[in-house]
Structure 1
């Protein structure tokens, strides 16, 4: 059965059984009817996935791997903040009158900085370092720019990636490992979406740099389940589990900026039914 399913079920069970409730506290999110959206939360959830063993997609319900790749490339490759550049409508609720989410996410990754080697944005810098100084302990990105927070529609949730290279005994190829840091996560709507996204990012960057994707670690400071999601999660984690899908990249692509969602090949993805009409707190 999918290892990602086991991780997801254990995490949800722990949050529901041992988490802290925010009910009655002052909270920012609200439901569409204006009611405060309370959560049950756990602090400091850490999950690890070995991409050499299997792709970390849950099978309890389907994760839209192509769509999550599209959003990932919107941020990391297009470096866009305009919702018109995104095929899905997941950011529409946060768009301003110009159709942007302000100086958030992709905008931050497109900002160029001065380095001894010349001007580069954060994505180009990490690729440069992985190719030229792979054992550096300084290969990371961060989009939590305090100077621009007031011009962001939403403070970044997934705000930092750290990359670290290792080498296995007897192997000529280097292994690319990564850590995603999130300040906050809505577990039902976003957990496996983000896991699949940043697993794919690690795979793409590894292929770009001639490496093997290794461990992906997901660190969540505030892992929460909304009050109206609890019955949905309780049902979801009792479902039948299936083997993880086989996910690989088009081997012809070695330039990060040439990847498209179609270059992510998904095979044998058997899942339970989708959960429809999940209420989303804004």
Structure 2
């Protein structure tokens, strides 16, 4: 069993056994048939993944790692808010007729801000600090911008990354760690997807900064399982698990903006069957 499988199983059991039900309460999400989408939720879930030990991909079912990387590059590298520049369809429900999701996600990453060192967007600011001032305690991003919320077709769920550099014991090797803050998460549909995405981002940033990837800490304010997902989750966490896959990046890439999904290599990824047609609340 991979460490990620163990974390996921433990989290899901805790939500189901000890969580709060929203059934009968006023909730925003609905199912396609218009009925309210209730959840069982836990507040303040914190999971830690040590990327120096293994890549945290679930083996209970397959996570599409190249698609996950494509989406994180869409947001952080292309800084796009148009689904026509994305190779998957997970954002289709929130796009308008032009393909835009409004001033959300990649749009916020593209906005330049005035710093003492000059005009930079948030991604370039992180890369600048990792290169010039790696021990800064101010290396962070935020896309939950209140003044633009009314122009976002969806509010950001994963909204903030904080980067922190440590050093390998008895060595001068720098280690890049990160904290992903998430206000809300559909555990079945998105948990390992987000974990793998931001693990890949941490790996890419570490590589182009001459560092090694360390820990990803995932903080979820509202970790929930939808009512119609509970039997799917119960079946999923009862499955046999396998060792974690080997996931590497093309070591020749030294510029974050040069990465493509073709620079990702996944080996020995043994998994259980995929769960198809997961109902998604909107």
TM range (shorter): over 0.9
**Secondary structure, aligned partner of 2:101:** coil
1:45 corresponding residue in structure 2: 45
Deviations 1:222-266 (A, max 9, x none): 000000000000000000000000001100101000001111110
**Helix, strand or coil at the partner of 1:141:** strand
Structure 1, residues 109-167: CA drift from partner, whole Å, max 9, x if none?
00000111110000000000010000000000000000100000100000000000001
Distance (Å, rounded) in 2 between the aligned partners of 1:181 and 1:117 = 27
Post-superposition Cα deviations, 1:63-95, rounded to whole Å, max 9, x if no partner, equal 000001000000000000000000001101000
| DSSP-derived class of the 1:90 partner | coil
Structure 2 equivalent of residue 192 of structure 1: 192
- Counterpart of 1:249 in structure 2 is 249
Deviation at 1:169, TM superposition (A): 2.7
Distance in 1, Cα, partners of 2:89 & 2:118: 36
Match of 1:171, SS state, is: coil
Whole-angstrom distance in 1 between the partners of 2:168 and 2:201:
21
- Return structure 1 stretches of 4+ with deviation > 6 angstroms: none
Residues 1-282 of structure 1 mapped to structure 2, 5 A cutoff: 1-282=1-282
Shift of 1:171: 1.5
Quote the Cα distance in structure 1 between the aligned partners of 2:258 and 2:168: 29
Deviations 1:173-231 (A, max 9, x none): 20000000000000000000000000000000000100000011000000000000000
Instruction: Return 5+ residue gaps in structure 1 as ranges.
Output: none
What is the Cα deviation at residue 170 of structure 1? Answer: 2.0
TM-score, length of structure 1 as denominator length: 0.99
Q: Please provide the CA RMSD for this pair.
A: 0.5
**TM-score, normalised on structure 2?**
0.99
CA distance in 2, matches of 1:128, 1:93: 35
CA distance in 2, matches of 1:172, 1:265: 28
Number of corresponding residues: 282
